[in-house]
Each structure stands twice: as structure tokens, then as C-alpha cells.
Structure 1
């Protein structure tokens, strides 16, 4: 399980995508769990990074599970109309 904390925005999203993609490439479990309870801010590039991970990792035979999304992340996803697409999991 990977715990994310802080801002997920235009500055940090590319690094997250790269790091998670590398982790997924080395995954032997076929599942990567991202705990999102520590996200304190998320903008549109951050949301679309999560969406891209959800869509592309299964192509590499790695499922991604988002858990414990923070209220800030849930609010951003709701405002963007992406809550259903992101499947943010349980409430922290």
C-alpha cells in the first residue's frame, strides 16, 4: 500500500504518475493500493492523473485500488464529475 499525502496538482502529478508506473512495473501481486487519505489539495491535473492510472495500469496487468480518499479529494472529484470514474473507495 502506498500512502499519498500533500498536494496532488500540476506540479506533483507527473512525478506521481511516473513513480506509480515504475512501482506497477515491478509489482508481482497484480494489485497496487493507493491510500489517498493524506491528500490535502487536488486540482484538475491531479484528478486526471488518478484517472489515467486507473485506466492504464490494468493494461499492464496491475489493478489499482484507491482507498480512504480525503474529503478534499472527494470534493474536487465531485466538482469535476469524476467521482464514479475514479471509484475512490471507502471514506476515511
Structure 2
């Protein structure tokens, strides 16, 4: 569309408007999902990618990636303690 000699600016503007609406809607969906599943590592990372790649909010994205890493580390430590406890009781 952009390589044509006669650009259809109204079509281009329609696509831009749609992108803005979808961008806003995707953020609302992620925020709603995160309220319901605050400890979902995959969801937190996906939201971080949206913030980094679409909104260019690198600081918030990095914070979310760190949060996801912390949750994973806590889960690993919890599992390790459970396994150690089971092995100690055998």
C-alpha cells in the first residue's frame, strides 16, 4: 500500500486508528488478566514484551521481567525445600 504512487491516505489513517484501538485494548486485557493471575510468570513476561515492544516502556518491562524471575526463583526454592523435606523423612 505504501509503495504505490497514489497513496490512499484515508485507508492508512483507518489502519492507524485501528492499531491504536487494538493497542489500548490489549493493554486493558493484560491488566485485567494480571489482576486475576498475579503470579503467572508467562503472563507477566508477555505483558513486559507488550510494554517494551509496543509502548517502548523499557523500564517497566524490565521491572516485570525481574518480577517474573523472582517468582520463578521463589517457586524453585519452595520446590527444593519440599524435596529436601521429603528426602529427610524417608
TM-score by length of structure 2 reads: 0.31
Which protein, 1 or 2, shows the higher relative CO under an 8 Å CA cutoff with sep ≥ 6? Answer: 1
Compare CA radii of gyration and give the structure with the larger one: 2
* Greater strand proportion: 1
* Greater helix proportion: 2
